[in-house]
Amino acid sequence: MAISIRIPASLRTLTQAKEEVTVDGATVRAALADLDAKFPGFKDRLLDDKGVKRFMNVYLGDEDIRFLDGLDTPVKDGDSLTIVPAIAGGR
């Protein structure tokens, strides 16, 4: 079950600068857990006790997982997840 995850520039310190990594899992939750196992630190940056942190957005393809089944959204081989954090800056 190979799921690709696009890592935002601000979190690439956790992936040794890799823009995209491949993980395993049958749900978004499992895929993110595998991401954290391979590149420790993601869990703290992405999740809190309510789920995905409020200023983080996780997309399966083009769909925000909040509008699917959240962390329990099933994923299948070849799916692609993207993490998009809220950012402020550019003055």
Residues making contact with other proteins (CB under 8 A): 6, 8-10, 19, 45, 53-55, 57, 59, 62, 64, 66-67, 82, 84-91
Compute the least distance from the CB of residue 30 to other proteins, in Å: 24
The token pair that represents 51 in the structure block:
């789920």
The nearer residue to other proteins, 78 or 89, going by C-beta atoms, is 89
Q: For residue 26, how many other CB atoms are within 10 A of its CB?
A: 13
End-to-end CA distance of the chain: 43
Q: Which is nearer to other proteins, 41 or 74 (CB)?
A: 41
CB of 3 to other proteins, least distance (A): 18
Q: Whose Cβ is closer to other proteins: residue 33's or residue 52's?
A: 52
CA distance 37 to 67: 26
Contact present, 83 and 11 (Cβ < 8 Å): yes
